[in-house]
Amino acid sequence: MSLDSLLIRRPVRPRIFVSYHHANDRQAYEDFVQLVSGTYDVCTDHSVRGRIHSDNSAYVIRRIREEYISGSSVTVVLCGRDTPWRKFVDWEIKATLDAEHGLVGLCLPSCALDAQNLRPVPDRLFDNIQSGYAEWIHWPTLLAGAQIIADAVHNARARNRRLIVNNRELMSRNGTSPYALPVLPRRSGF
């Protein structure tokens, strides 16, 4: 009997990183992990803010890339009510794009429509949805079937890296953005 026949081989599941506002969207994160845990290996959840005690953006982005995003192939951004104004979400998206990993935005029910029937999203994510690099799906669509997230992750991993847009100024603190807040209309594809 060979050593290979003694080893049990388990298929390798794609690894994904999830970026979200920890204070407001923790339950959505847990629900998401429960939905995808049979298909994907979700990076262990740690609040970057609580584990990396620094406001030096270059240092924090390097640590995010090395300790959180390394080994994953896609970042899923859970877009809730306050997500667009969180600097660590912006920094996690930047680190994802620096590593040329796939990017998926997931619109949570808490991301309400504004007066113009639009939804706020993080600036850097918006740029990449507009360029065709990032995928954009809605929570109710995700609940309709597991294949929805599988397709979004597959498509995000297959996108041409030349579509990446990662030239915005970094957010320096929560609640601010150097640019006007972009919004996404709820149309097909958004």
| pLDDT per position as a tens digit, 152-173 | 999 999 999 999 999 999 888 8
What are the angstrom distances between the C-alpha of 179 and each of 35, 37, 131, 160? 34, 36, 17, 26
pTM listed for this prediction: 0.82
> What per-residue confidence (pLDDT) applies to 62?
83
> What per-residue confidence (pLDDT) applies to 115?
73
Return all residues near 53 (Cβ < 8 A) that are at least 6 apart: none
Q: Of the ranges 59-63, 81-85, 113-117, which is most confident?
A: 81-85
CATH code matching the domain that covers 12-165, chosen among 3.30.460.10, 3.40.640.10, 3.40.1280.10, 3.40.50.450? 3.40.50.450
> What per-residue confidence (pLDDT) applies to 162?
97
Q: Is the pLDDT of residue 129 over 90?
A: yes
Confidence of residue 184 (pLDDT cuts 50, 70, 90): low
> What per-residue confidence (pLDDT) applies to 93?
96
> What per-residue confidence (pLDDT) applies to 5?
52
- At residue 184, what are phi and psi to the nearest 5 degrees? -115, 130
Q: If we measure between CA atoms, which residue out of 4, 55, 44, 49 comes closest to residue 22?
A: 49
Strand spans (E) along the chain: 15-19, 41-42, 74-79, 102-107, 118-120, 135-138, 183-185
Q: What is the DSSP letter of 90?
A: H
CA-atom Rg of the chain in angstroms: 17
Encoded amino acid at 40, one letter: Y
| pLDDT per position as a tens digit, 87-126 | 889 999 999 999 999 999 999 999 877 777 778 899 999 9
Task: Say which residue, 171 or 185, is predicted with more confidence.
Answer: 171
Q: Is the pLDDT of residue 11 over 70?
A: no
Confidence of residue 63 (pLDDT cuts 50, 70, 90): confident
CA 155/CA 81 separation, integer angstroms: 26
CB 78, CB 23: distance < 8 Å: no
Q: Residue ranges of the domains in the chain?
A: 12-165
Cα–Cα–Cα angle for 33, 39, 44, rounded to 5 degrees: 40
Confidence of residue 68 (pLDDT cuts 50, 70, 90): confident
